[in-house]
Amino acid sequence: MIADMNRLEQAARVSMSGFQDAEPPPVPRSSHLPLHLSAIALLAAMALTAAWQLF
């Protein structure tokens, strides 16, 4: 009985493996580039402002 259940579970996994390819691909990391650049620009502006206030 347990061996039959294990075989059925294994067969289900094998049959479902074909459907896993239908998932959309992950978002490329390059789409976060503008956000990173704007964060760096903001930090640079804050550093320049702080330096300007000190002198």
Q: For residue range 4-15, what is the model confidence (pLDDT) as tens digits? A: 878 888 877 776
Question: Which pLDDT score is estimated for 50?
Answer: 92
- Give the pLDDT band of residue 2 (cuts 50, 70, 90): confident
Q: How far is CA 4 from CA 10, 16, 17, in A?
A: 10, 18, 20
pTM of this structure: 0.43
Summarised one tens digit per residue, pLDDT across range 6-55 is 888 887 777 666 555 555 666 666 667 788 889 999 999 999 999 999 87
Place of tokens 């059925």: 8
| Backbone region of residue 20 per phi and psi (left: phi > 0; alpha: psi in -120 to 50; beta: other values) | alpha
Work out the end-to-end distance of the chain between its first and last CA atoms, rounded to an integer number of angstroms. 82
Predicted local confidence at residue 47, as pLDDT: 95
Instruction: State the DSSP H helix or E strand holding residue 8, giving kind and residue range, or none if neither.
Output: helix 2-16
